[in-house]
A = this chain, B = another copy of it.
Amino acid sequence: MATNRTDQAAADQEELRDYIERFANVLTDTGFPRMPARVFVALLTSDTGRLTAAELASLLQISPAAVSGAVRYLSTVHLVGRERDPGSRRDRYRVFDDVWRDALLQRDSMLSRWETSLTEGIHMLGPDSPAASRLGESLHFFSFVRRELPLLLERYYREREGMTPQQ
C-alpha cells in the first residue's frame, strides 16, 4: 500500500498537532494559560505566522469562543496581533516577528511595579531598619536589571543584524 499525498498530509497534521500540545504543555508549566499557549504555538508553527480564527479552531479542535478568548489574552500581552485583509470579514491573527523582545520588555513594567512596592515598603519601615535595607537591596537589583535589559536586547539585535545583513 503506497503512501499517497493525502495520507502524508494527514500524518503531518497529526504530528503537528501532537507537537503543538507538547510545546503548549511546556508553556503552561511556566504559568501560561492553556488555551493561549495552544493558540500561540499554533501560530508560531504555521508557515506564514498568520491564521484565521476558523483555521485555529479546526486545527486545535476548539470552539470559536475559545479562540476569541485566547486571542484577546494574547493581544493584551502583545504576543499576537489582529489583522484583517481589506475587503474581507475574516480576521487573521499573527505572531509578531519580535515576539520575544516584546515579551521581555513587558517584564519591564512588572519590574517597575515591584520597584514601586519596594520603595513604599522602605519608607514604611523606616530607612535604617534591617528589613528596609533588605528591601533596598532588592530595589537596587531590580533597577539594575531594568537598566540593563534594554541594552542587552539592543546588543542582540545588533549582533543578529550583522549575521544576516540580507534580511
B-contacting residues of A (Cβ < 8 Å)? 15-16, 19, 22-23, 26-27, 29-31, 44-49, 95, 97, 99-101, 104, 110, 113-114, 116-117, 120-121, 124-125, 129-131, 134-135, 137-138, 140-142, 144-145, 148, 152, 156, 159-160
Contact = CB atoms under 8 A, between A and B. Distances in A.
A124 B15 contact: yes
A47 B124 contact: no
A32 B77 CA distance: 17
A135 B137 CA distance: 37
A131 B31 contact: no
Nearest to A23: B117
A131 B26 contact: no
Contacts of A45: 121, 125, 131, 135
Contact of A131 (B46, B144, B160): B46
Contacts of A145: 104, 152, 156
Nearest to A95: B134
Given A47-B130, A144-B156, A22 B117 contact: yes
A121 B46 contact: no
A160 B135 contact: no
Contact of A121 (B23, B48, B130, B148): B23
A123 B36 CA distance: 24
A19 B120 contact: yes
Contacts of A15: 124
